[in-house]
Structure 1
């Protein structure tokens, strides 16, 4: 593994960058040192100092602690959303490629209908039905990204279903479930891995946008998008909460996007550089 990462420096950097942010979220109670919910009104809108390393917001809450806990909120919401989208869309895409016929046509037309809506508009519509919350945001993002996984996996799955080893498995009487899970799914692992990382990057931006609009995490839950929304009203008095929250969203989304690009360059033989 060490030799592999040493040959792929971009992948190693991206993995370390993402891992660092995940660790900061996991160990937020230790790293943050401050209570993200504690309001100290006499310390309102302070700049970075030795006690509050990134300053305080309009209610005197520690910005660093709220950003670290905001990482938790964003990562939890987006991981759940992308996992649900992968499970639903990936399953539909593989089944459509395997069975074809009317099931393929009906499934893909439903995916086309979902594709017709702008991502943020569809997410807002789902939350309008479910009500604003973290879980509603996760479900909305999952619905938005389900057709992406379905379309993405259907293409290569169609090619694999015509391969000799799949036809051989059918000839010896292997069940459909065995062919799908033991022959079809493992050969799609690299595609799934790359697209999952890239969609996590996009999901972080969507979750932050929903929270910014008041449709995701609700106060006083720490959320990067919510911090950005609250901080914009005090930019002239104290730009620190909004600025640092914006950088946190940027770094988190950039990390997963860079990881997805690095994985694609490493796993795709057409893009792999010749040594």
Structure 2
């Protein structure tokens, strides 16, 4: 394990960087933080101090506690969205590669229709139907990312479907679902891991954008995008709420993006040979 960490310093750093942020979000209630909902009007727009390390917002709420609880909101929304899109898009992509024919053509043309819409506009359209909320944002992001997983997994799945062990499994009478989920899926694990990390990074930015526009988490729920939106009105008077919320979004997105790049470099045999 130590040798692996030494040989994969970038991956080790990315895992630690992401894990620290995730642990902060998970254990926020036991960290002894101030109540992120408590409004102390006499303390509004205070700069960083001993009591409030990152200062307070326009309602006197502690920015540090709201950022850490905002991590919980962002991670809950984005992880839910990416898992849903992986289940839907990944399943459709593997089924399309396995059955081919008319099923493949219909599925991929539907994915092309979804690809034709800009990501943010399609997410806004879905939220217009579902209504602004955390779960509405999660479903909207899941729908946006479904064609990405479908197209990504379909390509390598087509190659695997032509392999000898899949042909042999068909010859001995293995069922379609057994072949798909026990033979195709395990061989796509590395692709799934890398793309999931990268899409989590992008989903964090989309969720923050939706919350910034008022279409994600609703007040008073702590949300990084919502904090950024509220803080922009006080940039000249008290810039720290917007600045710290922006850095929180940057660190969270950067962590998953770095993790995805490190996983790709580690799991891709061609890149390993080059190094």
Shorter-chain TM range is over 0.9
Secondary structure, counterpart of 1:74 in structure 2: helix
Q: Which residue of structure 1 lines up, in the alignment, with residue 249 of structure 2?
A: 249
Secondary structure, counterpart of 1:201 in structure 2: helix
Q: Please say if residues 47 and 56 of structure 1, whose CA atoms lie closer than 8 Å, have aligned partners that are also in contact.
A: yes
Q: Please say if residues 93 and 153 of structure 1, whose CA atoms lie closer than 8 Å, have aligned partners that are also in contact.
A: yes
Is residue 134 from structure 1 mapped to residue 138 from structure 2 by the alignment? no
Q: Which residue of structure 2 lines up, in the alignment, with residue 46 of structure 1?
A: 46
Q: Please say if residues 45 and 57 of structure 1, whose CA atoms lie closer than 8 Å, have aligned partners that are also in contact.
A: yes
| Cα distance in 1, alignment partners of residues 61 and 216 from structure 2 | 20
Q: Which residue of structure 2 lines up, in the alignment, with residue 163 of structure 1?
A: 163
| Cα distance in 2, alignment partners of residues 68 and 239 from structure 1 | 19
Deviation string for 1:188-218 (max 9, x for gaps)?
Answer: 0000000000000000000000000000000
| Cα distance in 1, alignment partners of residues 30 and 45 from structure 2 | 23
Of stretches 21-30 and 135-144 in structure 1, the one that deviates more from structure 2 is 21-30
| Cα distance in 2, alignment partners of residues 181 and 206 from structure 1 | 30
| Cα distance in 2, alignment partners of residues 130 and 179 from structure 1 | 36
What TM-score, normalized to structure 2? 0.99
Q: Which residue of structure 2 lines up, in the alignment, with residue 13 of structure 1?
A: 13
Q: Please say if residues 32 and 68 of structure 1, whose CA atoms lie closer than 8 Å, have aligned partners that are also in contact.
A: no
Q: Residues 78 and 32 (structure 1 numbering): CA distance in 2 closer, same or farther, change over 3 Å? A: farther
| Cα distance in 2, alignment partners of residues 193 and 112 from structure 1 | 23
1:4 to partner: Cα distance: 1.7
Is residue 108 from structure 1 mapped to residue 108 from structure 2 by the alignment? yes
Q: Which residue of structure 1 lines up, in the alignment, with residue 219 of structure 2?
A: 219
| Cα distance in 1, alignment partners of residues 274 and 117 from structure 2 | 41
Deviation string for 1:150-180 (max 9, x for gaps)?
Answer: 0000000000000011001111111111111
| Cα distance in 2, alignment partners of residues 17 and 255 from structure 1 | 6
Q: Residues 8 and 191 (structure 1 numbering): CA distance in 2 closer, same or farther, change over 3 Å? A: same
1:232 to partner: Cα distance: 0.1
Segments of structure 1 that go 5 or more residues without pairing to the other structure are: none
Secondary structure, counterpart of 1:271 in structure 2: helix
Q: Which residue of structure 1 lines up, in the alignment, with residue 178 of structure 2?
A: 178
Segments of structure 2 that go 5 or more residues without pairing to the other structure are: none
1:28 to partner: Cα distance: 1.2
How do 1:1-275 and structure 2 match up within 5 A?
1-31=1-31, 33-273=33-273
| Cα distance in 1, alignment partners of residues 257 and 273 from structure 2 | 20
In the alignment of these two chains, the number of paired residues is 275
| Cα distance in 1, alignment partners of residues 196 and 38 from structure 2 | 36
Q: Which 4+ runs in 1 deviate beyond 4 A?
A: none
Q: Please say if residues 85 and 145 of structure 1, whose CA atoms lie closer than 8 Å, have aligned partners that are also in contact.
A: yes
| Cα distance in 2, alignment partners of residues 186 and 40 from structure 1 | 53
* RMSD, aligned CA: 0.9
